[in-house]
Amino acid sequence: MYKACIFDLDGTLTDTLDSLTFSVNESLCEMKLPKITEEQCRMFVGNGARVLMEKALTAAGADPKERIEEAMEVYGRIFDANCTYHVIPYEGIREMLDTLKDAGVELAVLSNKPHKQAVHVVETIFGSGYFRQIRGQQEGIPRKPDPTAVLQITEILHAKPEEVLYVGDSEVDVATGNAANMKTVGVTWGFRSREALRAAGAERIADRPEEIAAMACDPR
């Protein structure tokens, strides 16, 4: 059995696409720019808010070099007020997490979402104290796929990398887990396809949350 499971947030534990698309488009509208589509937003997320807005500006026909600071101010304000907009856990996630907790597996979240909003989303959806660690993007700590944050969490959980299952839905997550020398699982219910996860080097791929619990409790 693995000692701990560290999860990505957006596209892994929670369906946040509506909140992200809404916040990006409200920001673009305030900046007098055209909206992006939900499918575009799906493909833009994963590398943090700044990269998301850089890609959104480009798609809207604006120069990110000229308007990114304005966009970050606007998006930061709008997303802060709407980060739980239509956010729900994916089907089977609560049951999977409860199974892991009952088995004594430590739970943590690592997201490239800004830290304040990551904590707010997790605690709003799952309750305070459900996860031992919740980390979003913070000043001075490289964002995923750099393994610094995931290894820091591992130390706090008193685990070794080989004792941790890392779970995410994107190429960024696959690269993060692999860089940390953790058994890494890509999930197909999030923002990326099975083909994209396999091409990124996912060691294992899960189609349903209960598969994660089975992998964590019986790692053969």
Domain count across the chain: 2
pLDDT above 90 (res 219): no
pLDDT at 55: 97
CATH number for 136: 3.40.50.1000
Identity of residue 119: V
Q: Are residues 138 and 196 in the same domain?
A: yes
Pairing of strands 14-15, 88-89: antiparallel
- Report the percent of the chain where pLDDT is more than 70: 99
Q: Cβ distance 89 to 14 under 8 Å?
A: yes
Q: Are residues 153 and 205 in the same domain?
A: yes
Q: Tokens standing for 27? A: 């920001």
Is the full-model pTM beyond 0.85?
A: yes
Q: Tokens standing for 189? A: 């219910």
The domain in which residue 33 lies consists of 17-82
Q: Which residue has the tokens 């940390």?
A: 180
Q: Are residues 206 and 134 in the same domain?
A: yes
Q: Are residues 115 and 193 in the same domain?
A: yes
Strand partners, 137: 114
pLDDT above 70 (res 75): yes
Q: Tokens standing for 215? A: 């992998």
Q: 11 in helix, strand or coil? A: coil
Q: Are residues 107 and 21 in the same domain?
A: no
* Tens digit of each residue's pLDDT (9 = 90 or more) over 151-171: 999 999 999 999 999 999 999
Q: Are residues 116 and 195 in the same domain?
A: yes
pLDDT above 90 (res 218): no
